Homo-oligomer: A and B are copies of this chain.
């Protein structure tokens, strides 16, 4: 069931649902961990019901739960609790993304688990964390994107609000959780002891505000959305072409001179308005006018060829179908498949951590049916 990787031999008991937690345990499974998904009897993970469906199975669920096993257990029922506790006794890590307090009410809070299973690592990934005034509140991706500030930085100046088009509120929290688990596993090889990790989606949004925070602390000015521009690098944006856009960036003077020459306007690199990055940054609109006067004469494809030949960082604005057709994406094995017994071949994103010590298989084990592995696991197969 598992793939071969640096976490081979590690067993993760996975109580998570929907996205942040399951994304985290998918990353752990991609690195070789055995992930046993403990689901509620009846429906299991809510995301099994999220469309769209392939042969009645959620494409979303299948893509984020590949390579995991499933057992359904009712943690309020004695027999199932005994099975669950047997699983914990043999496990290295338990991950959950309930609201704060849920595990305590089940009798499986950190203190209780640590007393019984001192080697067990406990990772909680919740909306707001297990402490503070919002602990216990529910969260969704769009809520933490709004509360954490990234929404205020995304979109057009003066325009309507825009959410980041993938669920970075969940996903970034899943990534930080996986980082914490790796650190805790490493530490345990020396101390023999587990620890609790408490990761909050909101905290993780604050952690990725990056230059917006630095700028605010340095200047007191509140940053806002900038379309595709960067606050302190010019050129660094999408420019209009005859048939769409081309993204161009040049972070230093040498690259800017190369860019201007490639566009047939070497004089622009000597123009006082554009002579260095601070000057260009103060004249972003003027530079856009100059560049678009040139770029709108030819289609995007033409400019990509010109700029790639010159070695200037550039890109089309790829739609999802373009991404999947990109030769680099294919060469890097970033579109993989799983053979689902019901849905057939299901394609999904690959593992972006390429490792010299392990193969990077194009086919990964599929996501489990609800309780698919329950009988084997509960019967002592774990």
Q: When each residue 180-209 of chain A gets 1 if its CB lies under 8 Å from chain B and 0 otherwise, what string results?
A: 111111110110010111111011101111
* Shortest distance from the beta carbon of A357 to any chain B beta carbon, whole Å: 4
* Partner-contacting stretch, out of A73-81, A82-90, A324-332: A324-332
Q: Does A54 contact B (CB under 8 A)?
A: yes
Across the interface, A161 reaches (CB within 8 A) one of B161, B204, B223, B238, namely B238
User: Contacts A153-B165, A229-B163 given: A350-B209 contact, CB under 8 Å?
Assistant: no
Measured as residues with beta carbon below 8 angstroms from the partner, the interface class of chain A is 35 or more
Most chain B beta-carbon neighbours within 10 Å: one of A180, A186, A195: A186
Instruction: Note all chain B residues with C-beta closer than 8 A to A148.
Output: 318, 323
| A268 on the B face (CB < 8 A) | no
Taking CB as reference atom, which chain B residue is nearest A331? B132
CB within 8 Å of B: which A120-170 residues: 127-129, 131-134, 137-156, 159-168
Given contacts A52-B215, A60-B214, A154-B164, 4 further A-B contacts (CB under 8 A): A149-B318, A160-B228, A207-B352, A213-B348
Does A107 sit at the interface, judged by CB under 8 A? no
Is the pair A321, B52 in contact by a Cβ cutoff of 8 Å?
A: no
In the complex, A127 Cα to B315 Cα: how many Å? 12
Q: Is the CB of A222 closer than 8 A to any CB of chain B? A: yes
Encode contact with B along A271-307: 1 for CB under 8 Å, 0 otherwise. Answer: 0000000100000000000000000000000000000
Q: Which chain B residue shows the least CB distance to A252?
A: B46
Return 6 A-B CB contacts under 8 Å, by A number: A59-B218, A150-B164, A152-B318, A154-B164, A156-B159, A184-B355
